[in-house]
Amino acid sequence: MSMLSKSVLLGTCLVALGLLAFSGCDHRNNRASTPAADGDQSTDTDAEKQPNDQPPAPPRKGPPTLVDLSRAAEQKIRSAMQTKIDLTPDGMALQEFVQLVAEKGEFPVWINEIALSEEGIAPDEPIYDRLHSVTIEHALNWTLEPLGLTWMIDDETLNVTTEIDAEEEVFTQTYDAHKYLRHQEDAEGEDSLYALIANATSGVWPDDGGASGTMSFLNGMVIVRQTTSVQREITALFKTLHAVESGHAKRSSLPVRPESYPHSEDAQIHVALKKPTSVEYLDEPFSAVAADLAERHKIRIRIIATALEEEGIALDEPFSLTLNDVSCCSVLHLLLEPMGLTYYVSEGALWVTTEIDAEETLNTALYDVHDIAGPDGDYDSLIQVIQQETSGPWGEIDGTGGTVNEAEMLGALAIRQTHRVHQEVAQLLADMRTTMAAQPKTDRPKRDPNAVVTRVYNLKGMKLVDDLLTAVPKYVAADSWGDKKKTHSIQKVGETLVIRHTPKVHKQIERFLQQFGYYRSTGGGAGYF
């Protein structure tokens, strides 16, 4: 659809703006549109248009019926986007490619040419790709993302725009979370779920110093105002929480992915990577090597060319390697590592990129760890082990990197990290299970949840030690301090706070301090003794 056609369409929609409020068009974002100059812009009411010799229309009885046309249209488009297509856009213009894909899915599409122009992206940007038996959703994702573009569904239309523009569009969505709040006191359960959602998704929240997202709780519901992409992540998170609750994890992990995500295709790639192969490459360009491996093992291999270009690595970089009867994944490691490249599996494809780019790509998975945490639910200790015994980095320790949150009601941990660290976590948990299986169950120590633990909080450089010395007992578990036996206490020592309390309250204290820029450091028992 051209810009002129889109303008006419918007102008026509605005003619009936008053009626749209009752017909259910759900305008969930903050975009303001200016009607085009052409077209009939009359806003006369029906009563004003009626001839004088006709009686006025009878008043409505009862409130108007609200029909959510926008969300119904969104579901229809999402369903159509799961249609599989075959395309080879060899130099096809971006605008033509998007229109062709939309025709195959039979849904309306609009390209925000103004937003693209602001980022220096032309609608006739050439597209070079080979898309064989992929869904429309993946075809769009794979094509748009390298250009800094994305898509969202709004006004019953699929809109193609820049990632920057999409981040400015927010809407509100409500989620049923009662089953994940019922096991804890209201305030504690809400704090835990807030931290879980905020840390397991890519959204910017007020605690991060951003202003794009908000989260509220009411009667077992979570009401979230966020961007389209983050709402998709939250929807996927709740679906995965439900899957873990239903027992689908079983001492393993489940990646948090959209409902349409091709899990089976990812699994097939992992199986193919373990199969033996023999290769003989002599000064072959990497693009040819990738095509050969893809053909041999029947997997999609996609190269993130923009990431390679940023590091000065050309697709025609020559590779030489001769190996017999080794796994495909070993071949890839030997080819890629010397060049500072790596790979990961996602969205039904194997992606080749730079190590730098891979370290910036975080994904979330839920790990069933109820057997490791034990009947006493020692999740704090398990989290510390994971953070100390993997390469990280972790935001809680290093100020940047991945996150880990307990979903205690499910006996699980939600971890957001790079593909490499996820592999480390999975191997660590597997090793721990192997060791535990050899231990006599009677010899396992039990933890007293009410035991008092002393912890040193290093606040060096924060310049808030005196203020926090007063604020912590005032705002965190306020009724638990000041007992005659001084069981629970807080004391300032230089630029540290020495606090004696239960593990449960220490967890609350740490979350409270993090709002002021505190990050826990590893080593020395993580400050416990």
Residue 27 has pLDDT above 50, yes or no: no
Q: Partners of 110 in the beta sheet?
A: 159
- Dmax (CA) of the chain: 95
Residue 178 has pLDDT above 70, yes or no: yes
- Joined together, the tokens standing for residue 354 give 């730079």
Question: Is 88:131 a contact under the CB 8 Å cutoff?
Answer: yes
Nearest residue to 141 via CA among 154, 133, 150: 150
Nearest residue to 526 via CA among 418, 384, 314, 366: 384
| pLDDT tens readout for residues 223-239 | 999 998 899 999 999 99
Nearest residue to 513 via CA among 497, 527, 493, 492: 497
| Residue whose structure tokens are 């030997």 | 334
Q: Tell me what pLDDT residue 358 has.
A: 93
Q: Tell me what pLDDT residue 96 has.
A: 96
| pLDDT tens readout for residues 444-484 | 666 677 788 898 988 887 888 999 999 999 999 888 897 77
Mean pLDDT of all residues in 318-340 = 92
Mean pLDDT of all residues in 40-58 = 44
Mean pLDDT of all residues in 125-139 = 91
Q: Partners of 171 in the beta sheet?
A: 226
Q: Tell me what pLDDT residue 257 has.
A: 87
Q: Tell me what pLDDT residue 262 has.
A: 76
| pLDDT tens readout for residues 211-221 | 678 999 999 99
Quick one: CA torsion of 7, 8, 12, 17, rounded to 10 degrees?
Answer: 10
Beta carbons within 8 Å of 40's beta carbon, 6+ residues apart: 15
Instruction: With residue 74 as reference, give the H or E element that holds it.
Output: helix 69-80
Q: Tell me what pLDDT residue 443 has.
A: 62
Outline where 81-162 has alpha helix (H).
94-105, 113-118, 136-144
Mean pLDDT of all residues in 367-391 = 88
Beta carbons within 8 Å of 209's beta carbon, 6+ residues apart: none
Mean pLDDT of all residues in 138-152 = 93
Q: Tell me what pLDDT residue 158 has.
A: 94
Question: Is 73:24 a contact under the CB 8 Å cutoff?
Answer: no
Residue 26 has pLDDT above 60, yes or no: no
- Joined together, the tokens standing for residue 166 give 């999409």
Question: Is 527:520 a contact under the CB 8 Å cutoff?
Answer: yes
Mean pLDDT of all residues in 322-327 = 93
Return the minimum-mean-pLDDT range out of 120-129, 284-293, 458-467, 471-480: 458-467
Cα–Cα distance, 228 to 111 (Å, whole number): 17
SS3 state at 77:
helix
Mean pLDDT of all residues in 281-294 = 91
